[in-house]
Structure 1
Amino acid sequence: MGEMITADGVEIWVERRGEGPDVLLIAGLGDPAEAWQAQLDGLSDRYRLTAFDNRGAGRTRSPEESVTVARMADDAAALLRALDVPAAHIAGFSGGSFIAQELALRHPGLVRSLVLTSTVARADAYFRAMTGFWRWMVESAPSERAMLEAFYLWIYTPRAHADGTVDRFVEETLAFPHPQSAEAFQGQLASFIGHDTLDRLPGIAVPTLVLAGELDIATPPRFGREVAERIPGAEFEVLPGEAHQPFQESPDLFNARVDAFWRQVEARG
């Protein structure tokens, strides 16, 4: 079961699982800690995993000030300190990977390694046009179900739409008792659109693995390749047949890959 943790004055909903080296899981746009369920279940025999709701998502309220990626990175740092975690392996997907980049740049002592999935360093015209449509969609969709069905076209593979996986995710999201408001969705989205670490990425000095889905149309592999090329020594890998959220669609594949990476980092001390 999760709990509320006060971190630098913000009440953050946290779920922790397992024992071992510390891992902090940072979710993306609109997603609560439950987005990482397959990792909480599949990796807790080897790691102490912490997942949490970013401000404006799930059970973590957003204070009155505007949401920024830097502020959410500071939230993550404050959470680690509140939990007495001296440093952790950081894994973020999509907008959560933006937060992870800022965390490594703003609070380098707290970061042992980075896993950046479906990541971007700087929005381009395509990304801005796509997310601009999402802003309109969350306001104008005829129902929450219709909004999710449209939004998930960018997120999951054709096979997930065909085999019922997307239908299951839609039902789970609709049943979640802490839905994100349209205003909070747009606030997070605006912060992610404004994210820009491109020129600062060479300052990241920890081992980094960048993962991209071959079929990802929201953050195509070219974005991840650019991030990896800017971070010294970063590894870049395209996952064949995967889209924006491989950690949900193919958790065994994802868990094995990040486990191998973290084991390498641990072995190097």
Structure 2
Amino acid sequence: MGDMIQTDVGGIWVERRGEGPDVLLVAGLSDPAEAWQAQLDGLSDRYRVTAYDNRGTGRTPLPEGPMSVPGMAEDAAAVLRALEIPAAHVMGFSGGSCIAQELALGHPRLVRSLVLMSTFARTDAYFRAMTGFWHWMAERAPDERAMLEAFFLWIYTPRAHADGTVDRIVEETLAFPYPQSVEAFQRQLEPFRTHDTLDRLSEITAPTLVLAGELDIAAPQRLGREVAERIPGARFEVLPGEAHQPFQEVPDTFNARVDAFWREVRARELRVES
């Protein structure tokens, strides 16, 4: 069930499902909580899964003034506090993985473990050129459908374009009753373009799994590998044949992988406790 909750930083729309150890899902650019539908459905038999709309996405209003990744991490911390979650397995993808990095750095006690999907710690020239194109494409595309069809070339596999998956996602996005405005897309994009935690990642203490899609052109695996190399003890894995959002394209495989990681974290905690 979804609900607008009041936090100490304002109202934030939250979806919660299931019972068990707490999992916080942090979405990326433009994606509302529903982007995690396959995890809300597929993991809630074992976990209490919480997803939320970032500011300027879905039902959470766009703030006044410039946005920042540390500011969005404060929103994530506020969600955990408002829901009285002392610590959660935090999973973020793309821009949401940047938010998750800042959350782990700024509020380490709230982060039981980290899964960083399609992640990066510092943007490069290719990334800045790509996202610069996205910025003006949102404004100048002939219509929303054309914008989505172009944008999704960076997001999903050729397989998903061929088998109708992307067509379905386009239709679902167009039918979503809380569309993101061009202004919100652009303002949310900017802080991710300048995200830089590279020299601070060594301070992260949470057990970390970094996942990259073999075919991801939006956040190429070289960027994820760089993140894993900087976080002490982090594990880096490439998902063969996958692109930017495998949690949507191959949810059963993805859910099984993160579930296995969280079980490992629990086993490690038990060994420490004993």
TM-score, L = length of structure 2 = 0.98
Q: CA deviation at 1:67?
A: 1.0
Would you say 1:216 and 2:204 are equivalent positions? no
Amino acid at match of 1:251: P
Q: CA deviation at 1:174?
A: 0.1
Instruction: Please give the alpha-carbon distance, in whole angstroms, between the structure 2 residues aligned to 1:202 and 1:59.
Output: 35
Aligned residues: 269
- TM alignment of 1:224-235, pairs within 5 A: 224-235=224-235
Instruction: Please give the alpha-carbon distance, in whole angstroms, between the structure 2 residues aligned to 1:189 and 1:2.
Output: 25
Amino acid at match of 1:228: A
- TM alignment of 1:1-40, pairs within 5 A: 1-40=1-40
- Could you give the per-residue CA deviations for residues 128-172 of structure 1, whole angstroms, max 9, x where no partner exists? 000000001000000000000000000000000000000000000
Match of 1:250 in 2: 250
Match of 1:59 in 2: 59
Match of 2:47 in 1: 47
Instruction: Please give the alpha-carbon distance, in whole angstroms, between the structure 2 residues aligned to 1:151 and 1:177.
Output: 20
Match of 2:114 in 1: 114
- Could you give the per-residue CA deviations for residues 211-254 of structure 1, whole angstroms, max 9, x where no partner exists? 00000000010000000000000000000000000000000110
Instruction: Please give the alpha-carbon distance, in whole angstroms, between the structure 2 residues aligned to 1:205 and 1:213.
Output: 24
Would you say 1:205 and 2:205 are equivalent positions? yes
Match of 1:80 in 2: 80
Greater mean alpha carbon deviation, residues 66-75 or residues 2-11:
2-11
Instruction: Please give the alpha-carbon distance, in whole angstroms, between the structure 1 residues aligned to 2:62 and 2:149.
Output: 26
- Could you give the per-residue CA deviations for residues 99-155 of structure 1, whole angstroms, max 9, x where no partner exists? 000000011110000000000000000000000000010000000000000000000
- Could you give the per-residue CA deviations for residues 193-216 of structure 1, whole angstroms, max 9, x where no partner exists? 011000000000110000000000
Instruction: Please give the alpha-carbon distance, in whole angstroms, between the structure 1 residues aligned to 2:65 and 2:100.
Output: 21
Instruction: Please give the alpha-carbon distance, in whole angstroms, between the structure 1 residues aligned to 2:196 and 2:173.
Output: 30
Match of 1:184 in 2: 184
Amino acid at match of 1:168: R
Match of 1:133 in 2: 133
Instruction: Please give the alpha-carbon distance, in whole angstroms, between the structure 1 residues aligned to 2:130 and 2:62.
Output: 24
C-alpha RMSD of the superposition: 0.5
Instruction: Please give the alpha-carbon distance, in whole angstroms, between the structure 2 residues aligned to 1:112 and 1:147.
Output: 37
Match of 1:261 in 2: 261
Q: CA deviation at 1:9?
A: 3.3
1:223 is paired with a residue of what secondary structure? helix
1:200 is paired with a residue of what secondary structure? helix
1:62 is paired with a residue of what secondary structure? coil
Instruction: Please give the alpha-carbon distance, in whole angstroms, between the structure 1 residues aligned to 2:20 and 2:267.
Output: 14
Amino acid at match of 1:4: M
Moved over 3 A (4+): none
Alignment check: 8 A CA contact 2:9 2:75 kept:
no
1:57 is paired with a residue of what secondary structure? coil
Instruction: Please give the alpha-carbon distance, in whole angstroms, between the structure 2 residues aligned to 1:67 and 1:20.
Output: 33
Amino acid at match of 1:154: W
User: Structure 1: where are the runs of 5+ without partners?
Assistant: none
Alignment check: 8 A CA contact 2:9 2:78 kept:
no
Amino acid at match of 1:128: R
Q: CA deviation at 1:268?
A: 1.4
1:102 is paired with a residue of what secondary structure? helix
Amino acid at match of 2:251: P
Instruction: Please give the alpha-carbon distance, in whole angstroms, between the structure 1 residues aligned to 2:212 and 2:72.
Output: 23
Match of 2:272 in 1: none
Amino acid at match of 1:246: P
Q: CA deviation at 1:65?
A: 2.5
